[in-house]
Amino acid sequence: MGVKPKIAAYHPHFGEEACLVGSFGSGTIFFSSCNLACVYCQNWEISQKRVGEEVDCRRLGEMMVELQDKGCHNINLVSPTIWVPQILKGLIFAIKNILRQLKWPGKQVYVGLIKNKTSSSLRSCHSLYEEATAKGRFLG
């Protein structure tokens, strides 16, 4: 396994909870090479057989923007645990280049980011960007 994340697939996904799917699907990026190796994993072939294509951080950010442009209102990262530094670099590229804010009356809202594994959590891309820049990590 290299330093570039391996992506098995990325596309609007309609197989999540209704609140995540919305009208145009959840913008799902399926990562290969999960470190958990859960025997009950529904994505075992993707996570353990390491299928997919290695991409650089910039391309990962471009994928996020492409999903947004298809109407997805969130970026759903499936099995992302070992790729957090690369994801943050991709997010920084995406945010700086066009990952847009959603329009919400009276609030500044960003495209949602979902970590989809054993403990799903929803955070805005901007909050991850702020965390990364505040710590001075993953930039460059």
The pLDDT value given to residue 139: 36
Count CB-CB contacts under 10 A for residue 68. 21
pLDDT beneath 50: ranges in the chain: 102-105, 107-109, 118-124, 135-140
The pLDDT value given to residue 137: 44
The pLDDT value given to residue 19: 79
The pLDDT value given to residue 83: 87
The pLDDT value given to residue 134: 52
| Distance (Å) of CA 127 to CA 39, 88, 108, 110 | 33, 11, 12, 9
